[in-house]
Structure 1
Amino acid sequence: MSAHDRRFPKSVYRHGAEPDARFSLANERTFLAWIRTSLALLAGGVALETLGLGLQPGFRLAASVLLIVAGILTPIQAWLGWTRSERALRLDTPLPSANLALPLGVAVLVVGVLVLLGVVFA
């Protein structure tokens, strides 16, 4: 079994040619940035609910849940983005866009509005 056959995921590594290592490493750093974002969203959701901060409880809970859900979904973007980008690099095709970036951005925007409302109506 060659080293090529042992690499995971096969759906990425069985296609195309080996790209410049710098591009693969940049893709990996992007994956890790999405993972750090996920951890921050999860921590923010837990902290918001745990600390209370004198916000109106309904708005605070909604914002916390939305942050936690976004934090749960973000690793999906990390994995799908990494696999799609790595495959594109191997096939020398245009890089794909981040499918969940807009929904996650909207989620953070909504959280901001919920926290603002929680302050106003506290």
Structure 2
Amino acid sequence: MADKQPTREELLLDWFIGDAKDIMAELTEVKESVQQVHKTQQEESAASVAALKELNQQAVSSQRELARVAKEGAQQIEVATNAAATHLKKASAATHRRIAAVAFFAAAVGALIGACVAMLGFMLIAPL
């Protein structure tokens, strides 16, 4: 009786239980593998988010620096334009003064020549 042959149902049940144990072992391995992949993805995602935040901060800093440089450049251009305008006004005023002086000198010389010609004419006509 001890070496009783298992029935067909018992063999199928043992086979089913054995397969179920193998399937459970494989599922456990797959579950652990999936959990490891998920953990790795979370770590990589966190690293990517941190890198993106750093890049965003660098982009914002660069934009602020560019805006500051552009503002300073505009101010320097305005200062240079004002200085050039002031210099141009001074040069124009000096040129006008020189032109006025030359015109005055020319008028004075012309008046002197005219006076000399008039006196010479009176001197030549008066003895007659």
Give the structure-1-normalised TM-score.
0.28
Instruction: Identify, as 1 or 2, the structure richer in helix.
Output: 2
Give the structure-2-normalised TM-score.
0.27
Larger Rg: 2
Q: Which has the higher contact order (CA 8 A, sep 6+)?
A: 1
